[in-house]
Amino acid sequence: MPRKLLMPMMLVGLLGALAWMPLRQAGWLPHAAPTAVDAGAAPAVRSFSPSSATPVLRPASVRAVPALSPLRRGFEDSTDLFAYSRHLVALAAAGDADAMWLLSLVQDHCAGYAADPAGYAQDTRVIAGLELSGSTAMVAARQRVQQRCGRFVPQDGFSLPTLITQRTQAARAGSLAAEAALLAMDQPLQRDDDYRRDLVQRVLDSEDPFAYLAIAPVMGTIGSGQRDTLGEVSGSELSEIAWRIASCQLGMDCSPDGSMMTNYCVNGGICSQDASQDFTTFARDAGVPRQGADNVDDMVGTLLAPTGVDG
């Protein structure tokens, strides 16, 4: 079955790069080539044996913030992220850690558009005029971003330092997702291995889909060789996909028109030509070799199921 991609590239190996793609497109990060993946072979998959030095999977504790609270739901449902962000600013000023985190998501999602609205619109028109296979999906995704981010302008000052500052404030106020995102951006609150190990454990215990998604990039090839601190589901392209699929199963919006699928299409040129595919279906179709499907299923199961280990 042919891969349903707008451009001839593999999904695996690109997921981590896409975590900062809006900022990179806006010129705030250097362009870094993703790890090459042989399209004709399955990526190497590490052995996932238990280790006493790695975080222990335990039954999840009660969530501090509901996964689908109205405030969180607003990030996906709002057709006007400028208005939504004004609401978040007021809550953040009152010390709401989740509002601080969600504000950083708005900044990240809209950064590419806000840097040059006119140029963004022109690029969309050019893509539409090319009439390439799959360009319809790309144009639709770009139009969703333009509609939702349309009131932001360059003067709003979305920048990498601003994003890091926003997420640092959110993390210090108690947002686990922001703390996880900082680790994935190589800007952790602390640099020692014990802290990293504890953070991964707290994400696992939380069952917070935003935290699972935020930490996913560092669980890919970026974390290769760090299983002693990052845990057993880390170090490969497939492990990163597993964390993202786990976030979907915990309640993250992974729908065809959701921000996750939109970001992959707009910022990475990775667009499904099947408009009905959610992230889980698309990732399995386009990014997971047939030989790796069982491995991904096992990893997702490990992330979501308690092991019965006490402690």
Residue 51, in any domain of the structure: no
Domain count, the chain: 1
38: left (phi over 0), alpha (psi -120 to 50) or beta: beta
* Predicted pLDDT of residue 22: 56
Residue 2, in any domain of the structure: no
Q: Please determine, for residue 41, whether its predicted confidence score (pLDDT) is greater than 50.
A: no
Share of the chain above pLDDT 70, in %: 77
* Predicted pLDDT of residue 6: 35
Residue 238, in any domain of the structure: yes
Residue 266, in any domain of the structure: yes
Residue 8, in any domain of the structure: no
User: What range does the domain containing 172 cover?
Assistant: 15-28+66-304
Residues 49-99 pLDDT 10s: 333 344 433 333 333 444 579 999 999 999 999 999 999 999 999 999 999
Instruction: Kindly state the greatest CA–CA separation across the chain.
Output: 59
* Predicted pLDDT of residue 34: 32
CA–CA separation, 309 and 311 (whole Å):
7
Residue 1, in any domain of the structure: no
The DSSP symbol for 190 reads -
Residue 240, in any domain of the structure: yes
Q: Would you say 286 and 11 are in contact if contact means Cβ atoms under 8 Å apart?
A: yes
Average pLDDT of 137-152? 97
Average pLDDT of 205-213? 95
Q: Please determine, for residue 257, whether its predicted confidence score (pLDDT) is greater than 90.
A: yes
Residues 1-23 pLDDT 10s: 333 333 333 444 445 444 445 54
Q: How many residues does the chain have?
A: 311
Question: The whole model's pTM is what?
Answer: 0.80
Q: Would you say 280 and 247 are in contact if contact means Cβ atoms under 8 Å apart?
A: no
- Indicate the residue type of 245: I
Residue 207, in any domain of the structure: yes
Q: Please determine, for residue 32, whether its predicted confidence score (pLDDT) is greater than 70.
A: no
Q: Please determine, for residue 252, whether its predicted confidence score (pLDDT) is greater than 70.
A: yes
Number of alpha carbons in the 13 Å side-chain half-sphere of residue 16: 27
